[in-house]
Amino acid sequence: MLPLDHPVAPLTRLTEDEAMFRDTVRKFAREQIAPHVREMDETAVLRKDLLKQLFALGLMGIDIPEQYGGQGGSFFQSILAIEELAAVDPSIAVVVDVQNTLFSNAIQRWGSEEQKRSFLPRVASEVVGSYALSEAGSGSDAFALATRARQDGDSWLITGRKLWITNAAEAGLYLVFANANPEAGYKGITCFLVERDSPGFQVGKKEDKLGIRASSTCELILDDCRVPAANVLGEVGKGYKVAIETLNEGRIGIGAQMLGLARGAMEHAIAHAKQRKQFGKPIGEFQGVQFDLAEMATQVEATRLLVYNAARLRDVGEPFLMESAMAKYFASQVAENVASKAIEVLGGVGFTKDYPVEKLYRDAKIGRIYEGTSNMQRVTIAKQLLG
């Protein structure tokens, strides 16, 4: 495990407040989350007591302004928290990720003052948020939405099904994207804030997944779900902008999740290489193992540079579209590669559930898929390069 005070590049150097925040989250993850990771993975259930602790620590409203009950932190601090949580359990990390980089972020950017006062204090203190865009026929083609919305007096009626929705089982609020004017194509897409107890709304089947199992992934069923007109986020027909611009920021969050995962796997490999002996000496003294660790460390540091750079750009208001795509694309590759190599360093025990690296390997696979597949990130990067 790398010491906390090891030399860092200027881009990854933290302010005193950022370092204190990181250390607090790291301590919480190692002491409070780590003992329950295997149980949550096997049962595919997020412990309610841990969820309450996430709220109590302010990790579910990191960059929500204090006037709305949040911590008044930065987007970059959200990224630090996601990284530290993912080093112990990527399932917990993605809960915090969606809450901060997608859900509350969208309300802060697109919500009216009334919506901010109504929803943000709840999101910061007790209510989990969920982001419902994907459908059976709308994955990478995000705007091929079949879910429809029609106005009925001072309400909207939404009908359709959403699939693969993160945080759906625990959430009390959902950002639901539906097309209010199909003839206008993607310019009819509208974003709605939907309460869990809304008439016509139901959380459906929970998916049985390969990895990040404690993070719920469910379908949502909307059957003439009635939503007040005041719950339209942004403008009618401008939901595509909410989706695109929020996901650009969310991809930095996924990059942080994959960074933390890779770092966690590497730390397990380093610790094992120091302790495990073969032929009378620690396996870390063999050059073959040293080369693997060196490659892992280089990949993790390169990922950190990409992720931190994208987050810093976002915080200072500079363009970050290409950088966020690069961070997400590269981090997902590194997470899978490093977790795989960590299993090999641990050898036979690394292939068993008695050690955490096999879980991290399973958790890593989703990084290439959700919030934009690796191919979609490559398309985005190429388009930016070609102008």
Q: At 88, which CATH number?
A: 1.10.540.10
Please tell me whether residues 247 and 381 are part of one structural domain. yes
Please tell me whether residues 379 and 362 are part of one structural domain. yes
Please tell me whether residues 265 and 350 are part of one structural domain. yes
The C-alpha atoms of residue 107 and residue 119 are separated, in whole angstroms, by 8
The number of domains in the chain is 3
Please tell me whether residues 367 and 257 are part of one structural domain. yes
Asked if residue 253 is part of any domain, the answer here is yes
How confident is the model at residue 1, as a pLDDT? Answer: 45
CA 218 → CA 86, 116, 131, 166, 307, distances in Å? 21, 26, 11, 7, 28
Asked if residue 351 is part of any domain, the answer here is yes
Asked if residue 226 is part of any domain, the answer here is yes
How confident is the model at residue 2, as a pLDDT? Answer: 45
The C-alpha atoms of residue 374 and residue 385 are separated, in whole angstroms, by 17
CATH number for the domain that contains residue 249: 1.20.140.10
Asked if residue 19 is part of any domain, the answer here is yes
Asked if residue 1 is part of any domain, the answer here is no
At 144-194, the pLDDT tens digits run 999 999 999 999 999 999 999 999 999 999 999 999 999 999 999 999 999
How confident is the model at residue 5, as a pLDDT? Answer: 52
How confident is the model at residue 11, as a pLDDT? Answer: 73
Residue 276 CA, chain-centre distance (Å), reads 34
Please tell me whether residues 42 and 89 are part of one structural domain. yes
Please tell me whether residues 109 and 202 are part of one structural domain. no
Structure tokens at 324: 């966020």
The C-alpha atoms of residue 387 and residue 382 are separated, in whole angstroms, by 9
Question: Which residues span the domain enclosing 155?
Answer: 130-238
Active site residue 371: yes
Asked if residue 2 is part of any domain, the answer here is no
Please tell me whether residues 138 and 233 are part of one structural domain. yes
At 73-108, the pLDDT tens digits run 999 999 999 999 999 999 999 999 999 999 999 999
Please tell me whether residues 219 and 288 are part of one structural domain. no
State which of 83, 102, 128 marks the end of a domain.
128
Active-site residue, from 135, 219, 323, 371: 371
State which of 81, 109, 128 marks the end of a domain.
128
The C-alpha atoms of residue 87 and residue 350 are separated, in whole angstroms, by 17
Please tell me whether residues 337 and 262 are part of one structural domain. yes
Please tell me whether residues 233 and 287 are part of one structural domain. no
Please tell me whether residues 157 and 70 are part of one structural domain. no
Please tell me whether residues 221 and 293 are part of one structural domain. no
The C-alpha atoms of residue 154 and residue 173 are separated, in whole angstroms, by 20
State which of 189, 213, 238 marks the end of a domain.
238
How confident is the model at residue 8, as a pLDDT? Answer: 54
Three-class SS of the chain: CCCCCCCCCHHHCCCHHHHHHHHHHHHHHHHHHHHHHHHHHHHCCCCHHHHHHHHHCCCCCCCCCHHHCCCCCCHHHHHHHHHHHHHHCHHHHHHHHHHHHHHHHHHHHHCCHHHHHHHHHHHHHCCCEEEECCECCECCCCCCCCCEEEEECCEEEEEEEEEEEECCCCCCEEEEEEECCHHHHHHHEEEEEEECCCCCEEEEEECCCCCCCCCCEEEEEEEEEEEEHHHEECCCCCHHHHHHHHHHHHHHHHHHHHHHHHHHHHHHHHHHHHHCEECCEEHHHCHHHHHHHHHHHHHHHHHHHHHHHHHHHHHCCCCCHHHHHHHHHHHHHHHHHHHHHHHHHHHHHHHCCCCCHHHHHHHHHHHHCCCCCHHHHHHHHHHHHHC
Asked if residue 3 is part of any domain, the answer here is no
Please list the rounded mean pLDDT of every run of 10 residues in the chain (387 residues): 53 91 98 98 98 98 98 98 98 98 97 98 98 94 93 97 98 98 96 98 98 98 98 97 95 98 98 97 98 98 98 96 98 98 98 97 98 96 96
Pairing of strands 232-233, 277-278: unpaired
Asked if residue 5 is part of any domain, the answer here is no
CATH number for the domain that contains residue 173: 2.40.110.10
